[in-house]
Structure 1
Amino acid sequence: MTSTTPRPEAEARRRRTVIWIVALATFGLVFDGYDLVLYGAVVSTFLRDPTHIGNVTPAIAGLLGSYALVGVMVGALLAGAVGDIIGRRKVMLMSYAWFSVGMALTAMATTSIAFGWLRFSTGLGIGALLATTAALVSEYAPADKKNLINAITNGGIPLGSLLAALLAILLMQHIGWRGLFWMGALPIVTLLPLAYAKMPESVVWLASRGHMDEARAVSERTGVPLPGTVSVRTEAIAPAGTGKIGFAGLFSTHYLLPTAVLGLMSATGLMLVYSLNTWLPEIMLRAGFNAKGSLSFLAVLNGGSLFGALAASRAADRFGPKPVVAACFTTGAMALLLLTLGFPLAGLLVIVAVVGLGTSGTQTLIYGFVANYYRTNVRAAGVAWCAGFGRLGGIGGPMLGSTLIGAGFKLDAIFYVLAGLGLVGALLTLLVPMARAQTARRPGQVEENQGPATPLQRPA
């Protein structure tokens, strides 16, 4: 393997490229988070006023909350099937257009049936975006900052969630829920044109598929070195024609166990995320807070997840993501238990912020964990599996909340159930084998990532 020192001008181009990619990818995921929490912010309106989309009971509200997640699951799995074949850039551009149109059409829904189908359709685009964003960002991020940069990018999700809660507090009474959904369509006239001009395809992916002329051209334009020209030990690259691609590689003997455990871990985390983001405002309304007060808890939840994940990502780059994710799950579970102890308002807000770290913040770290776990030619499929199969838990989240509330469970009992889910997530994280992103080798072939274990590769 050749080792060279990057030229200063190439390094400058690389920094600019990484900044553009991170900014565009983060902006895209802001609208994923916006969509996630926007439904939770308006569901209380639907429950109390049938003039909007018809009569909505807690059971129907749970189903409507799950429709989008079914779409996310299907979209993620479909994108995972093609993202490692046709590339990250094409899938991401199509996703921006798709979910923008879906949000606009949802703003015009007049029945719960139409609303549900449009939520499903919007979810297809969001799922496809999730499945490819982490893969592209991971392949451009510097080796020693992969978890931090993935956390910054995926921090767009809680940032969008926070934005949805704040806009609902400030604007709901002025523009209604339809106006808030119209705002979710803005990427088609803002993000999509910028991404078309400024978002390159992955150099690593192009090289792994044998498109060497295009890879050289993108490498020269972006300053990102071709695989094999700079010593990069954390990137696992299978040469064109070697190793199984996409889901075939993901479910090969080499990856089968970690794929199963990572999928279950993501499903547990997303069940927590969607339970809380859908039902926390309603739970707090029933606890005696007014409408704006209950939405404030939603804003604090997502603010805690955003800043907590950024802080935790630094620890993940130093110690490896596995122990940090397990610790965050456990912290979230303990915080959910504290919510049952009757703290005053200021204390409750602090605890809810910690719950945000242990739920949405943990899921942010999980996406980075998974993106860096797999080799290039199965990476998009791996993230798609995490986002897609994990959505089974997300689908169950709103339904779990509606079941517990509809059955008359006390608020403390609901928090006990959610805390139990957090502990299950911590246990599953500890069961993930050490990172196995190794290349498929011919006899005598040297691996790109041969060398001492990196923090990602250490056993926890």
Structure 2
Amino acid sequence: MPASTTAGAPATLQAQLDARPVSALQWRVIGLCWLVNALDGFDLLAISFAAPAIASAWQLDPQTLGLVFSSGLLGMTAGSLVLGPAADRIGRRRMILLATTVLGASTLATAAATDVTQLVVLRACTGVAIGALLPSLNTLVAEYAPDRRRNLAISFMHLGYPVGGMAGGFLAAQLIPAAGWPALFVAGGLFTLAVVPILLLCLPESLHYLLRSGRADSPAAAHLAGRLGLDLTAATAHAAPTPATPVREVLRGRWLAPGLALWACFFLGNLTLYFVLNWTPTVLVEAGLPQAQAIRAGLLLNLGGGLGMLTLGYLSARWSMHGMMSAFFVVGGALVMALGQLSQVAGVLFACTVLAGFFSLGALIGLYSLAARLYPDTRRATGVGLAIGAGRFGAIAGPYAGGLLIALGWPMGHYFALLALPLLAAAVIVWRVRPPAGRD
């Protein structure tokens, strides 16, 4: 039975979702978005696991390798800034289907790259697809989750990223010694393309989007409302139309200050995190660890991050999200500094790697929850997309700066310490990420 709006019952779509138990359809949406995000992690981080073999085969110096790392992140920036906001126009489902197809095709084509130029171009295409995916995945999960579960649902969805990264590491350890580095990208591309038909059949559009785009009377909207037990007539009456220029709405007056604070946190968190994610296996090999142990350290970094983001999402129902994220950023920065001092002590190194991932990646994923809550659904994909895009400039700068510092011959502890400082700055700025007064 649809939820009634009489006798004080909730009328808005989100209020009705908040008042009902989480349905099987909602869990399916969250699970499919988790799966796509796992493919993101696999396809993007595969280059970090393949990098030592590529560098050896092609005789690449650290600066060139840094450019390869950054090309994917540059593509992610373009995808987030240009295609992310487009999901408020064409729909979250369409963007996810399109971007997943491009992601699989570009990853598969990476296996056929024969020089650095081809590798850079293909990694940039992979990045564009991932940049387009993340705002839509984040928004779709936020719009299907009840308020009481939203932080945990978003955290769970983003857990797919490190799980995909770990899967890439496990496969890299098996495939690269046996079949060479291209085999890793063949596996990633085929897995991703195989998921597209599943999404086409099983992933629904956001009901928020259907209402705002004037399609409340469509069969798809009626079917979704029935599955969720919602009163579509009452929800339609309370639905706000999408602004004609959602980008301008996000950047105007009272939204600008908290938006800039959010952008700064994304930039700083990504700068440190992507330096650590991309360079940890390579610098540990150069420091004398066997390649298998260096890859294991990369796996543990992602494992710790997954545990951290779930913990933060669970605890946010009880404690202040801002306070926990600030603490996570501070502890994460201290552990990244420590990580640069422990390259020859394997047991301590692995424990520190897990904890560094737990706090630094956990805090960064918390920003996605803050972003989803900062903006209303009429401009949520736009706001999240622009914030992610701003953060990608940090993700580009981190690996490239790491390559420059390594090429200068700096001791490992020095550049790890320097590139951990942005996390401490983010710990302060995150307190400014709050909805403005008079939110519409």
Same fold at TM > 0.5:
yes
1:404 aligns with 2:408: no
Match of 1:15 among 14, 18, 23: 23
Moved more, 327-336 or 211-220: 211-220
Cα distance in 1 for partners of 2:116, 2:290 equals: 26
Which of 53, 59, 62 is matched with 1:45 structurally? 53
Deviations 1:70-126 (CA, angstroms, capped at 9, x unpaired)? 111111112233111121111111011111111111111111101111111111111
Residue 220 of structure 1: how far off its partner (Å): 2.8
Q: Structure 1 residues 264 and 175 mapped into 2: Cα distance closer, same or farther (>3 Å)?
A: same
8 Å contact from structure 1 (residues 33, 161) kept in 2? yes
RMSD: 2.4
Following TM superposition, by how much is the alpha carbon of 1:228 offset from its aligned partner in structure 2, in angstroms? 8.5
Q: Which has the larger displacement, 417-426 or 257-266?
A: 417-426
User: Is 213-222 or 330-339 further displaced after alignment?
Assistant: 213-222
Q: Does 1:392 align with 2:359?
A: no
* CA apart distance, 1:226: 5.1
Give the 3 Å change call, closer, same or farther, for CA 307–224 of structure 1 in structure 2: farther
- 1:216: Cα distance to partner? 4.3
Counterpart amino acid of 2:230? Answer: P
Aligned pairs (5 A) from 1:36-185: 36-50=44-58, 55-185=59-189
**Alignment match, 2:365:** 364
- Alignment partners' CA distance in 1, 2:346 and 2:232: 54
Question: What is the number of residues matched between the two proteins?
Answer: 426
Distance of 1:320 and 1:238 partners within structure 2: 29
Q: Distance in 1 between matches of 2:150 and 2:412?
A: 39
- Deviation of 1:430 (Å): 2.3
Structure 2 partner of 1:197:
201
1:293 aligned partner: 293
Check conservation: 2:92, 2:136, Cα contact below 8 A.
Answer: yes
In structure 2, distance between residues paired with 1:74 and 1:31: 19
Supply the distance in 2 between the matched residues of 1:175 and 1:137 (Cα, whole angstroms): 38
Residue 443 (structure 1) aligns with: none
Unaligned runs of 5+ in 2: none
Q: 1:320 to 1:194 in 2, by over 3 A?
A: farther
1:227 CA displacement: 7.2
Distance 1:361 1:428 in 2: 16
SS of equivalent to 1:279 = helix
416 and 152 in structure 1: CA distance in 2 versus 1, 3 angstrom threshold: same
Mapped to 2, the partners of 1:58 and 1:142 lie a distance apart of 46
Q: Distance in 1 between matches of 2:414 and 2:232?
A: 53
Counterpart AA for 2:87: G
Per-residue deviation, residues 343-370 of structure 1 (Å, max 9, x unmatched):
8422221111111023322222211221
- Residues 273 and 360 in structure 2, CA contact (< 8 A), matched pair in contact too: yes
The whole-number CA distance in structure 1 between the counterparts of 2:423 and 2:232 is: 39
- In structure 1, what is the equivalent of residue 263 of structure 2? 263
User: Which amino acid counterpart does residue 290 of structure 1 have in structure 2?
Assistant: P
Once the two structures are superposed, residues 36-88 of structure 1 have per-residue CA deviations (whole angstroms, 9 ceiling, x without a partner) of 321111111222222xxxx4211111111111111111111122331111211
How far off is 1:286 after superposition?
2.5
Aligned residue in 1 for 2:227: 222
Q: Which residue of 1 aligns with 2:213?
A: 209
Question: What TM-score do you get using the length of structure 2 for normalisation?
Answer: 0.91
Matched, 1:430 2:435: no
SS in 2 for 1:318: coil
AA aligned opposite 2:48: G
- Give the 4+ runs in structure 1 shifted more than 3 A: 1-7, 226-230, 340-344, 436-440
